[in-house]
Amino acid sequence: MNTPMAMMVAGFSIAQADIKKLFTDLRIYRVTLIKLLVFPLAVLLFLWAFPFAHTVAYTILIAAVCPTATTLTMMAIRFHCDYAYSSKIFSLTTVLSMLTIPAVTFLASFLL
């Protein structure tokens, strides 16, 4: 039940997101930059510095570069926080991950 429920919450939150505000809020870009680039590049440097099996290293890297989960929105709803803000983060990171996942894995192909 977890996956269908998470997909429903993700769909509802994206449907309620204001697209104009989504792309004009600078706070969301900062969070997105940290989540999709800074953190994965730090993980990539860690994986480059320490020897891991190729499959293990790529699995860890792809998990690090994926967008925020719908769990963020579900927890915000559950604990009566600003779920609109968390759904904006979820929406923007999901859209921009189409660019960052291939870019980071392409960079990893040279380092790992």
Q: Spell out the per-residue pLDDT of the chain, length 112, in tens.
A: 677 877 787 777 777 777 777 788 889 999 999 999 999 999 999 999 998 999 999 999 999 999 988 788 888 888 998 888 888 888 889 889 999 999 999 999 999 8
Total tally of structural domains belonging to the chain: 1
Q: Which residues lie below 8 Å from residue 45, measured CB to CB, with a gap of 6+?
A: none
pTM as predicted: 0.83
Q: Look up the domain containing 43 and give its range.
A: 2-111
Q: What is the pLDDT of residue 1?
A: 67
